[in-house]
Amino acid sequence: MIHGRNKIEQKRGLKGNTELSNVKCSHDYYMNTINSCRQNRLCDSNEELEMKALQALGSVCPVSNIQPMVLPMFDNARLVAGFPLALDTDEQAQDVDILRMLCPNPEASFLIRVKGNSMIDAKIYDGDIIIVDKSNRSPSNHEVAVCELNGEYTIKHVLQKDGRVWLYPANPDYQPIEVKECDDFSVWGVVTYTIHKPRV
């Protein structure tokens, strides 16, 4: 399941195979890619320290390191949650580059596998993959941002109240964090999509 500013909840079959039982999960594809990235040099030396600090959030991989993943999408297929309907396997499928669809700005985007559960009410769970656009440093109140606070990284909502900046979790078990004037704070990027398997 993929969540973004516009939710996308579609099953897509592999090219040349329209059996829904053989659908390849993009979550697994990107999870394997992230694991592969951990074995390789991620960035130039000027960014290595930043990448190491980001590892506190979870595994990190630049989108530019990932090979394209093209799947057929049956744009006109009508799938319902009620009674099953036959899927017309002769229907013309449109090839979709999943990476381009999720990352229109791949050179500035990163995949991060999340650790922790402070954002569960924003549908971001431990082990999920988030796609972060580093070129966007101005999140709205409803967006989730990756923030740097005193050399450490966290995933939170960024809100301004009474002239002060607060980092808000999406979990009542966690307290908001006030960003003080003496703090070294910046927005590293904005979460554009969350990828995870369906949950019951």
Q: C-alpha angle 119/160/138, rounded to 5°?
A: 75
Question: In terms of Cα–Cα distance, which of 93, 80, 82, 79 is closest to 18?
Answer: 93
**Of the listed 15, 123, 156, 197, which one is catalytic?**
156
Active site residue 118: yes
Q: Locate tokens 């398997």: which residue?
A: 197
What would the two tokens of residue 69 be? 């993943």
Residue 142 identity (one-letter amino acid) = H
Active site residue 186: no
CA dist 190 and 72 (Å) reads: 28
**Of the listed 118, 135, 138, 180, which one is catalytic?**
118
CA dist 189 and 174 (Å) reads: 22
SS3 48: helix
Q: Are 49 and 128 in contact (CB under 8 A)?
A: no
The per-residue b/e assignment along 90-126, b for 16 or more CB within 10 angstroms, e otherwise, is eeebeebebbeebbeebebbbbbbbebbbbbebebee
Residues with a catalytic annotation lie at 118, 156
